[in-house]
A and B are shown apart, each in its own frame.
Chain A
Amino acid sequence: MSSQTLNKIPLISLVGPPNSGKTTLFNYLSGKKFKTVNYPGSTVEYSISKILSKHAVNADILDSPGIISLIPSSPDEQLSVNTLYSHPKFGKPDIVAVTVDVSQLSRHLYLVKQLLESNFKVVVVLTMTDVLYKKGFDISENKLSSILNCKVVRVNGKTGKGIDSLLTVLKESLNEIEKDSAASLIKADKHHKTKLLESYSEIEKIEKEVLFETDQKSTNGKIDIQKINESIVVLNSAPKFLKADETSLKIDKFILHKFWGLIIFFLIMALTFTSIFWLAAPLMDLVNDGFSFLSENAFTLLGEGLIADLIANGLISGLGSVLVFLPQILILFLILGLLEDSGYLARGAMLIDKPLSKIGLNGKSFVPLLSGFACAIPAMMATRTITNKRERFLTIFIIPLMSCSARLPVYALLIAFLIPQETPWIGGLLLAAIYVFSITSSIIIAAIVNKFSNRLVKEKDNTSFILELPAYRMPKPMRVIQETIKNGKQYVVKAGPVILFLSLLIWILTTFPNYDPVVPVSPDVSPEQTEILKSNERMSTSYAAYLGKFIEPVMAPLGLDWRVGVSLIATFAAREVFVSSMALIFKITEEGDDMQNSILNSMREAKIGDSDQKLFTTATTAGLIVFFVFALQCLSTVAIAKKETGSWRIPVLQVVVFTALAYVFAFVTVNGLRAFGVN
């Protein structure tokens, strides 16, 4: 009996080739909702959970990144293999449940054989039997079980059918360990070619034994003749049972077409980013109206005064300004989710591999870079599938330049200034233009850094690109919606508390110490004007104004004042805070006769200091946008870059380079535009 089974609950590790359905299975067993994606390499970190108590199996289950063999060739595979042999916290797994995609049986049995040879206690889980069935075949799990001499279960990942039998088998196996003396593990070493070929020829024999044609297709005479012809052609080789998915081959005729392939690629990318704006617009209006209504009622309910001011101007507009952008973020995740499920991502990676390799990246950088448009943190982790260290680090380096979803609200707000109110469709184009600009800049920066990349990290030039193209699948609406809601929640939960706190802080800083300033009263000044004079006086003698004096010299070259500076500082807590903090500062400092002035209007009217010069002009707004394109204002990103690269080198370089670029380019934009007469 192995020592760890004595004192702690058993551990079942899910392993298997990439995209074989491990995470799907994990979710069924643990009740968790981890992301499943139709792309080989979607899981890059292990996760562990107790099996749901309703399943009555007292064990932990561990999901891991996909591996092709026990000899890892990338960081994500390394992680899986390490957890297999000995996890630092959980020890060695008591049972290894290997997922085998039966529609690719021979390729997936290779890992099973390796695991069995290394003495793991293996349970084979057959997935994607529905796909196999569509190809006109079925599999005998009894035969497979007796040949391999281990337990075999069939599970349908779409319907959950077979989970019960899997649980029964797991229970049986757990009972067996108690009796068995644990055989010691054998470390797999790099198979010699002859050994590997032996394994594969055994596998081919197994495949012949366990796969059989279903009636469904064998009644179809045409296919039979075709099969006979084929087996004549490949007489000397193993009989080729399984053909690739016909539908996928047909779709790929277009998607991977010489000429259309790239056009479709760009169309898909362009549609993804522009629809964020178009689809979200009506929803945003709805949220906006809702919060204006709330803010209005706060005043009527609480009357004018300190508390009403805090609630209406501070909290409600702070939160509202962030929630306004929730629809855009939901739509972004919805579209990314649809792309993930369809199987297109692997094709995208393939199409863009050649251009990316020119600037020192890899086709496998595509998925991390794309998820960088949602958030840099999972994106940096996703680079673990990249084999070559230099390509991986370079990908990590430029990920912060992808416009993450936290920047979306900022751009949306700033774009709203640049475009006439009656033509919102221009906003979509402008947003697309910002994305194109940020992508172009990151390409240039990657190309430049690539020239020095040997100083960034030393690595052999053994770059390669080998990626399985999974069969296309109809996206599962439920999964996509769940994932979207999860991400929406995260956005609110992450930004919410920070915004509340900062709203409060900024409100205090801008309101005190001189809450009720004395202003000269004269008969020809109306009460409203007195109010305005008062609030101006309150502002200019506030703590914030005092602090602002320090920021002013830095902001002035960009044509901005301390109020934007305070907001920019706030963004280091989270980028999306920019919007709420702007909303707050400008509502308080610029409030005119209309209490319910929208944030946009108060910003439109904002002036620099006491002058008549407008603060937000085309030039300064464009400058701010450029600033946000480059600036790395996210502490979590810095932390994850340190963790993934294993040193401070890259994150420090990122902060220095990107902040400098942000400032310099913003300066050039503002003053360049002004030089051309654009104010």
Chain B
Amino acid sequence: MKTASDLKIGEKAIIKDIDNSHFSSHRILEIGFTPGQEIQLVSSPLFNDPIALMIRGSIIAIRKSDARCIII
């Protein structure tokens, strides 16, 4: 199962689902990561964590452990 944490820099993907069992899943949905939306990994600085995702025209920095509940 591929998640947003597996994206490479510049790579785009469409969100398939959000994993409900993750404690951040509700917040992640609320800020607009909904199935069907396109996301793109715009930067991943040193340590590759957190990563910056583009969603709905905004850029969100998110830890990989949180991004793992975004299934693509």
Instruction: Report which A residues bind B (CB closer than 8 A).
Output: 68-69, 71, 73, 103-104, 106-107, 110, 135, 190-191, 193, 196-197, 200-201, 233-234, 236-238, 240-244, 248-249, 252-253, 256-259, 261-262, 346, 349-351, 353-355, 357, 363, 462, 464-469
* Beta-carbon contact of B36 and A69 below 8 Å: no
Complex: A249 Cα to B65 Cα, angstroms? 24
Instruction: Report which B residues bind A (CB closer than 8 A).
Output: 14, 18, 20, 23-24, 26-32, 34-38, 42-47, 49-50, 52, 54-63, 65-66
Complex: A469 Cα to B61 Cα, angstroms? 6
User: Who on chain B is nearest to A109 by CB?
Assistant: B32
User: Who on chain A is nearest to B23 by CB?
Assistant: A462
Q: Which residues of chain A have C-beta atoms less than 8 A from B52's C-beta?
A: 252, 256, 350, 469
User: Who on chain A is nearest to B30 by CB?
Assistant: A69
A465-B62, A468-B60, A469-B59 known; A256 and B43 CB under 8 Å? yes
What's the nearest-Cβ distance from chain A to residue B35, in Å? 7
Neighbour of A249 across the interface among B38, B42, B45, B61, CB < 8 A: B42
15 A-B residue contacts at CB 8 Å? A69-B30, A107-B55, A135-B57, A193-B29, A196-B34, A197-B29, A234-B38, A237-B36, A244-B58, A252-B59, A256-B44, A256-B45, A259-B46, A353-B63, A355-B47
What's the nearest-Cβ distance from chain B to residue A98, in Å? 15
Complex: A193 Cα to B19 Cα, angstroms? 11
Neighbour of B34 across the interface among A71, A200, A252, A468, CB < 8 A: A200
* Beta-carbon contact of A466 and B57 below 8 Å: no
User: Who on chain A is nearest to B28 by CB?
Assistant: A466
Complex: A248 Cα to B42 Cα, angstroms? 11
Neighbour of B45 across the interface among A103, A106, A351, CB < 8 A: A351
Neighbour of B57 across the interface among A201, A244, A256, A354, CB < 8 A: A244
Secondary structure type dominating chain B contacts = mixed
* Beta-carbon contact of B57 and A237 below 8 Å: no
* Beta-carbon contact of B29 and A466 below 8 Å: no
* Beta-carbon contact of A467 and B60 below 8 Å: yes
Q: A71-B30, A256-B45, A468-B61 are in contact. List 14 more A-B contacts (CB 8 A).
A: A104-B57, A190-B26, A196-B29, A200-B34, A236-B36, A244-B59, A249-B42, A249-B59, A261-B45, A349-B61, A350-B50, A464-B23, A466-B61, A468-B60
* Beta-carbon contact of A244 and B66 below 8 Å: no
* Beta-carbon contact of A465 and B57 below 8 Å: no
* Beta-carbon contact of A468 and B56 below 8 Å: no
What's the nearest-Cβ distance from chain A to residue B44, in Å? 7
* Beta-carbon contact of B32 and A200 below 8 Å: yes
* Beta-carbon contact of B24 and A242 below 8 Å: no
User: Who on chain A is nearest to B37 by CB?
Assistant: A237
What's the nearest-Cβ distance from chain A to residue B28, in Å? 7
A73-B27, A240-B38 known; A351 and B46 CB under 8 Å? yes
What's the nearest-Cβ distance from chain B to residue A285, in Å? 41
* Beta-carbon contact of A107 and B37 below 8 Å: no
* Beta-carbon contact of A466 and B59 below 8 Å: no
* Beta-carbon contact of B35 and A197 below 8 Å: yes
Q: Which residues of chain A have C-beta atoms less than 8 A from B56's C-beta?
A: 104, 106-107, 240, 242
Q: Which residues of chain B have C-beta atoms less than 8 A from A257's C-beta?
A: 43, 45
Q: Which residues of chain A have C-beta atoms less than 8 A from B57's C-beta?
A: 103-104, 135, 240-244
* Beta-carbon contact of B37 and A353 below 8 Å: no
* Beta-carbon contact of A196 and B30 below 8 Å: yes
Q: Pick the most buried of B27, B32, B34: most chain A CB atoms within 10 A of its CB.
A: B34
Complex: A237 Cα to B38 Cα, angstroms? 8
Complex: A307 Cα to B57 Cα, angstroms? 69
Q: Which residues of chain A have C-beta atoms less than 8 A from B27's C-beta?
A: 68, 73, 464, 466
Q: Which residues of chain B have C-beta atoms less than 8 A from A467's C-beta?
A: 60-62
Complex: A243 Cα to B58 Cα, angstroms? 7
Complex: A241 Cα to B31 Cα, angstroms? 17
Complex: A474 Cα to B38 Cα, angstroms? 29
